[in-house]
Amino acid sequence: MDRSTQQFAIRVKNLTVGFGRRIILDRLSLDVRRGEIIGLVGASGGGKSVLMRTIIGLIPRRSGEIEVMGESISSAADHATQAVAGQWGVLFQYGALFSSLTARQNIQFPLREKLALSEELLDEIATAKLEMVGLSPEDGDKFPSELSGGMTKRVALARALALDPAIVFLDEPTSGLDPIAAGDFDTLIKTLQKTLGLTVFMVTHDLASLNIVCDRVAALADGKIVAIGPMRDLLRSEHPWVRAYFHGKRSLMLQPKAS
Amino acid sequence: MATAPQLTATATGDGLELRPSGSWIAANAGALETLSRAVAPQLARAKFLKLDLGGVSELDTLGAWLLEKLSRQMAADGRPAEVVGIAENHAGLIEAVRRVNRRNPPPPAPGNPVIARVEQIGRSAWSARDDIAVFLRMLGSLCVALLGIVRRPRALRLTSTVYQLYRVGWQAIPIILLITFLIGAIIAQQGIFHFRKFGADSYVVDMVGILVLRELGVLIVAIMVAGRSGSAYTAELGSMKMREEIDALSTMGLDPVSVLILPRVLALVVALPILTFIGSMAALYGGGLVAWFYGGMGPSIFIARLHEAVSVTHFQVGMIKAPFMALVIGIVACGEGLRVKGSAESLGKQTTTSVVKSIFLVIVLDGLFAVFFASIGM
């Protein structure tokens, strides 16, 4: 293992992704360091989720290279990719919980598949994860159709974190959560990152979360990363879209802290 | 990097000192569980516990929980437990794990399996009442929607109806033709084979004609349509229900019955008689071909015999049944679609139920019609 793979959890080089004639990502390059929380911002429909899904191998790419934990990624069906998949947890935008399993079984599913654990320990771990994401043990027996939007998100996070993966991909994790829950969520992510050395790749529009949790923020516009760096650098960025994003009315709360 | 986990136990007087070391992470889950089980007897005897985490190189939730469980076993009996040597980067996680699993979820109430079984049978019998209620309610709301159309014909969703007609009628023709053709041919072949033994092979035409026109044509077509279009209706409406599309329709002040269900049921009611006619003709054609090539009965003789054997009544009996069967299939399919709950599993279950129930009802209805037509002498 050379130094660069030690240092970077995800390396994306000259990635091009398009559907039909439309090019979504155009020779995009992005490096994510190990143990950092990176936030990805971009316009709606601008390719944030596409970038995330391409990195985890769900969307085929036109050209370019992707490395996750030093392994190159091809498609989700590929064996090497599936081996790397053991090292990441993904929180999908709408939860993507298995609807025929209860919340607890959803969380236990990756544990059961990858590890040999006793039923008792499986239950304890699942309950622990449920409580860590702010749910009660009783919620574990509910089916996904009986959960509210925020609860679904938390269960999905608990499932993504079930194996304490090295990298977590979060697709709009705090959307649809109340500010208290979103704040708890931020704290949780920060705690896990400190303890487990977790690398977090977060697609989000939540300015507060970007400001508080993210070590670096990457801005995606016109199919490229137009600005990347700590929040205060982005606030100073001259790119018109980035300026519009961080200096709009809703972003005023960021200003005093930044100056 | 990952090293094998260890748990060293040293007895100090009445107490016990545990020194976990190495990687206490999920990748070593099996070993970790064995380790923590192995110290359980010593732990039970100890008066106090000192847990020294100084040697732990890596820790995740699973490992932290197993260690927490050790100290919690002591605390449960009021024996003192002390945890020392927590690395700075592990403190947050250990703190988080310390807060969880304090309240055990209530154990599921133990039930008598016999009583549970009896209860299940009782419940499913009782739910038959719901089935009838769902069927009648759907029939009722269809009638209301239909009356609305009669009053205001422009309210009929013509585009939707025609599209459904295209799907359940026009697109079903090839498979209906094939199946009924084969059924007609098989009946004729069997008839000729067995009737020949007592020289009655010319009566095969009577059998094929009456059977196909009166019973089998409509029955086979209805079963095919229930499997092909009924299941599609249930799945479509069910996934619309799951994704709150039907709720969205109602909040816009539109009646899901007249927007979604009436066009579908109307299309079935129109399509099924047509398909029955086409299917019956295909079956007679198949029977005629077999009679010609296998039984040596030329087409002109077949047609002449058919002319004597069947009357318009037989044809009418078959055709009268068709729209009623379509109505039953449509109502069951749409009713089951609206009963889909949130999960993918329930969609599958309801689709199966829809097909099984509509085929069952089609056959029951056919029996009732047989009694009815017999008593009015048709």
The CATH number of the domain where B26 resides is what?
3.30.750.24
Q: Which of B99, B114, B134 is the last residue of a domain?
A: B99
Which residue in B has a C-alpha nearest to residue A138's C-alpha?
B105
CB-nearest to A128 from B30, B90, B100 is B100
Distance CA B57, CA A197 (A): 12
B286 and B196 part of one domain:
yes
Is pLDDT of A192 > 80? no
Tell me whether residue B114 is in a domain.
no
Residue of B29, B343, B344 with shortest CB distance to A116: B29
Residue A146, pLDDT > 80, answer yes
In single-letter form, the type of residue at position B83 comes to V
With cut-offs at 50, 70 and 90, classify the pLDDT of residue A254. low
Cross-chain residue pair B92–A194, CB shorter than 8 Å: yes
Q: Identify whether residues B160 and B36 lie together within a single domain.
A: no
Are B129 and B78 members of one domain? no
Contact A164 B69 (CB under 8 A): no
**In order along chain B (378 residues), what is the average pLDDT of each group of 10 residues?**
76 80 81 82 79 81 83 78 79 79 68 88 89 90 91 89 95 96 95 91 91 93 95 94 88 87 95 96 95 92 92 92 96 93 86 95 95 91
Residue A102 with chain B: CB contacts under 8 Å = none
* Together in a domain, B315 and B228: yes
Q: Three-state secondary structure along chain B? A: CCCCCEEEEEEECCEEEEEEEEEECHHHHHHHHHHHHHCHHHHHHCCCEEEECCEEEEECHHHHHHHHHHHHHHHHCCCCEEEECCCHHHHHHHHHHHHCCCCCCCCCCCCCHHHHHHHHHHHHHHHHHHHHHHHHHHHHHHHHHHHHHHHCHHHCCHHHHHHHHHHHCHHHHHHHHHHHHHHHHHHHHHHHHHHHHHCCHHHHHHHHHHHHHHHHHHHHHHHHHHHHHHHHHHHHHHHHHHCCHHHHHHHCCCCHHHHHHHHHHHHHHHHHHHHHHHHHHHHHHHHHHHHHHCCCCCHHHHHHHHHHHCCHHHHHHHHHHHHHHHHHHHHHHHHHHHCCCCCHHHHHHHHHHHHHHHHHHHHHHHHHHHHHHHHCCC
Tell if the CB–CB gap between A127 and B101 is shorter than 8 Å.
Answer: yes
Output the pLDDT for position B356: 95
Is B29 in contact with A115 (Cβ distance < 8 A)? yes
Q: Looking at the 3D structure of chain B, how many domains does it have? A: 2
Judge whether B164 lies within some domain: yes
Domain-located, residue B108? no
> How high is the pLDDT of residue A148?
82
- Residue B321: phi and psi, rounded to 5, are -70, -30
Most A-contacting residue of B37, B247, B343, B346 (CB-CB within 10 A), to test interface:
B343
Q: What is the pLDDT of residues A88-110, one digit of tens each?
A: 888 888 888 888 888 888 988 88
Could you tell me if B67 and B146 lie in one domain? no
At A259, the pLDDT band (50, 70, 90 cuts) reads: very low
Q: What percent of chain A has pLDDT over 90?
A: 0
Using an 8 Å CB-CB cutoff, list chain A residues near B342.
Answer: 99, 143-146
Note the pLDDT of residue B22: 83
Q: Do B38 and B174 lie in a common domain?
A: no
B95 CA: distance to closest CA in chain A (Å): 10
Instruction: Tell me whether residues A121 and B33 touch, CB distance under 8 A.
Output: yes
ipTM for the complex shown: 0.72
Q: What is the bridge-based pairing of β-strands A71-72 and A224-229?
A: unpaired
Six-digit token string for A20: 């039909």
d(C-alpha A176, C-alpha A173), whole Å = 8
Q: Give the chain B residue nearest A166 (alpha carbons).
A: B60
B127 inside domain: yes
d(CA B145, CA A16): 53
Instruction: For residue A125, list chain B residues with Cβ-Cβ distance below 8 A.
Output: 61-62, 65
Do B181 and B75 belong to one domain?
Answer: no
Structural domain span for residue B61? 6-99
Rounded to the nearest angstrom, the minimum Cα separation between B33 and chain A is 8
Indicate left, alpha or beta for A176 from its phi (over 0: left) and psi (-120 to 50: alpha).
left
Whether residues B190 and B86 share a domain: the answer is no
Position A235 pLDDT exceeds 90: no
Tell me the average pLDDT across A252-256: 61
- pLDDT given at position B373: 94
B281 and B363 share one domain: yes
Of B25, B26, B100, the CB nearest to A131: B100
pTM of the full structure? 0.72
The per-residue pLDDT for A1 is 45
B78 and B205 fall within a common domain = no
Determine the pLDDT at residue A252.
66
What residue in A sits closest to B97 (Cα-Cα)? A128
Q: What is the pLDDT of residue A73?
A: 74
B165 and B21 in a common domain: no
B111 lies in some domain: no
Q: Are both B79 and B144 inside the same structural domain? A: no
Taking residues A211-231, report their average pLDDT. 86
CA angle A128–A133–A139, rounded 5-degree value: 70
Question: Is residue B267 domain-resident?
Answer: yes
Q: Which residue would you say has higher pLDDT here, A75 or A161?
A: A161
